[in-house]
Amino acid sequence: MRETTDDVEIAFDWAAELFGEASPFHFFTDPERFGGALRTSDSIWMTANREESFGMSSGPDASPLPEWRTCLIIDSMFGEHAGPLARQSQWDFYTRRTQSLDEDVPVVTDATAITELLERDAPRSSVWPGSDTVVDWFGISEGPRLVAVAALTRWRSGQFVVSSVATAADFRGRGLARRVMRGVIAAANARGIEWLGLGVAHANVVAQGVYRDTGFVERARFSRYGLPEG
């Protein structure tokens, strides 16, 4: 069996057959820039953003398409290279359905305090104040000091993702990250958001434990590949 489609909804149905509801393909594909999909009986390829030549592939036959400049290969077996593309990072993707929880974490609007916390304690965060993907920042303070934070973001796919979860180094081990995560989940549910996603470095086992403890389930393990620099 080999099928192709230019209809993003059909492509999402194919992805759902492999991954279930709210699949990674739903989160990473921009419907307005969707560039087509191909599937066989057990593998799928999707051009998630044709303008950026970005795609995703999963299954025993997963591989980059020739036109892709960057891609995510789920459960990659390629190692350092996939065709002409070089591996850039490895990370895991989690999702969970939102629900009403007894955890009220306030919205934080002090961009300076958020930036200072991220610069000091989470400098590799993916999202920073000023990003147009941010819906709101949520945080916990100890007196006047912001000590834990997380961003609720909306990607171009229309899906909502928790990003830049950070706790001040001298306040770790007190369950603050779990409190912030539960607060974001509750706030998202109150806003009518059904699903949340998040990405985490494959080696970051501490963060993975926090996310699992707050109900997130691993949906995929990615290797990201791109054209070598230079």
CATH architecture for segment(s) 99-193: 3-Layer(aba) Sandwich (3.40)
Token pair in block for residue 94: 């989690």
Q: Say if residues 161 and 127 touch (Cβ distance below 8 Å).
A: no
Residue 229 has pLDDT above 80, yes or no: no
Q: What's the full length of the chain, in residues?
A: 230
Token pair in block for residue 65: 């398409």
Q: Token match 């290969």: residue?
A: 73
Residue 55 has pLDDT above 90, yes or no: yes
Q: Say if residues 147 and 141 touch (Cβ distance below 8 Å).
A: yes
Output DSSP code: residue 227.
P
Strand-pair partners of 5: 37
- Report pLDDT digits (tens) over 11-33: 999 999 999 999 999 999 999 99
Q: What is d(CA 189, CA 218) in angstroms, rounded to the nearest whole number?
A: 20
- Report pLDDT digits (tens) over 121-180: 999 999 999 999 999 999 999 999 999 999 999 999 999 999 999 999 999 999 999 999
Parse the chain into domains and list their residue ranges: 2-92, 99-193
- Report pLDDT digits (tens) over 166-200: 999 999 999 999 999 999 999 999 999 999 999 99
For residue 144, report the phi and psi dihedrals to the nearest 5 degrees.
Answer: -85, -5
Strand-pair partners of 49: 54
Q: Say if residues 153 and 134 touch (Cβ distance below 8 Å).
A: yes
Q: What is d(CA 78, CA 40) in angstroms, rounded to the nearest whole number?
A: 20
Whole-structure pTM value: 0.94
Looking at every residue in the chain, the average pLDDT score rounds to: 96
Q: What is the CA radius of gyration of the chain?
A: 18
